[in-house]
Amino acid sequence: MNRFVVRSVMRGLINGRSYCSCSSIGNGQVYRSAIVGRSLELSGQRNGVAFGGFEWRRMMSSSPASVEKATSEKEDKTENSVMEETKGKEVMAASYWGISRPKITREDGTDWPWNCFMPWETYKADLSIDLNKHHKPKNFTDKFAYRTVKLLRVPTDIFFQRRYGCRAMMLETVAAVPGMVGGMLLHLKSLRKFQQSGGWIKALLEEAENERMHLMTMVELVKPKWYERLLVLTVQGVFFNAFFVLYMLSPKLAHRIVGYLEEEAIHSYTEYLKDIDSGAIENVPAPAIAIDYWRLPKDATLKDVITVIRADEAHHRDVNHFASDIHFQGKELREAPAPLGYH
C-alpha cells in the first residue's frame, strides 16, 4: 500500500495532475487526504515554488488580480501626472526632496511676491546719517587709496557723463564685489584658524547683498544696452581679481579704498538727485521691488529710491573706514564687534 501511495505522489509531481484523482481503493478518502497533505508538505519545503498541481493552479489563479492591480495603478499615476501638470502651470511643484517654501504674506495679508529676499530682511533706511563725513588721508596708504579712487573716477565720468542711471548701474556691479570678497576670505580664515570672526563675515556679506539689491533696483529703472552689459562683464572680471589679490596682501588698504569708493557713490547719487529736482531726469514711480525692500510708501518715486540708496552707501562708507582703522591699530577685525544690520 505504501508503494502505491509513493507511486501516486510521483505521478502527480511529474504530470501536475490533481491528487484527488487517485483510484478509489479501500479507504480511498484516507489515501486522498494523505496524498494531498503530502503534496502540500513537499511544496512548502520549496518556499512556495510551483512544482505540484496545487501550487501551479494557485499561481495561475492569482495572475489576473496582479495584472488588474498594475493596470489600476498605472491609470492612477496617469491621472495624477495630468493633475500635477495642470497645477504646474500655476505653481511650480516641490522638488524630489519635498522642500517647499512656506506661505509668506505681507502685513496686509497679500502674498509675498519676491524670492530674492524675505520680509524679515527688509528695513527702513536711516536717512539721518551724515552724508558729508569724509576720512582725511593721513598716511601714505590713505593717500594711495584716495588718489586711486579719484583716478578710477575719470574714465567713468568720460564714458557716462551725466547719465546717472547707467553710472549707478555700473557702480553697483563694482560695489557689490568687495563685501563678498572680504566675507569669503574671512570665512576661509575662520575655518583655517578655528576662530570666530566677531560677526564681520556676516556684516560684509550683508553689505554685498545690500549692494546687489541696489543693482536689482537700478536694472528695473535702467534698461542697459548690450555694450554696457559687456562693459560690466569686463569691469567685474578685472575688479574682482584685483580686489581679491589686494585683500590678501593688505586688508586695511582694501577697506580704505572701499570707504573712498562709497564716498564717491554718495557724490554720484547726490548729483542724480539734483537732476531729478531740476527735471533733467523724470521722477518716475518707484519699482515694486524697491517699495518692498525699503518699506517705502506705495506712492514712492525715483527720488525716494535714490535717497535711501544714498543713505545705504553712507553706512557702507562708515563700515569700511571703521574696518580699515581697526587694521591700522594693529588689530584683527574679530577683536572689534561688527556693525551687524547697519545698512
**Residue 277 belongs to domain with CATH number:** 1.20.1260.140
Q: What is the pLDDT of residues 78-134, one digit of tens each?
A: 555 545 554 444 455 556 677 777 788 888 888 898 888 888 889 999 999 999 999
Q: What is the pLDDT of residue 231?
A: 82
Q: How far apart are CA 176 and CA 313, in angstroms?
A: 11
pLDDT in tens, 56-70: 444 444 444 444 444
Assigned domain for 40 exists: no
Q: Is residue 202 part of a domain?
A: yes
- 217 part of a folded domain: yes
Q: Measure the CA–CA gap between 71 and 138, rounded to whole angstroms.
A: 83
Domain extent, residue 194, equals 161-335
In a domain, 110, yes or no: no
The answer as to whether 125 is a domain residue is no
Report the domain count for the chain.
Answer: 1
Lookup result for grid cell 527702513: 124
Q: Does 279 reside within a domain?
A: yes
Residue ranges of alpha helices (H) inside 26-129 are: 28-44, 53-88
Residue 207 lies in a domain: yes
Ranges of residues in the chain with a pLDDT under 70 are: 1-96, 343
Sign of CA pseudo-dihedral 310, 313, 318, 324: negative
Residue 7 lies in a domain: no
Q: What is the pTM of this model?
A: 0.70
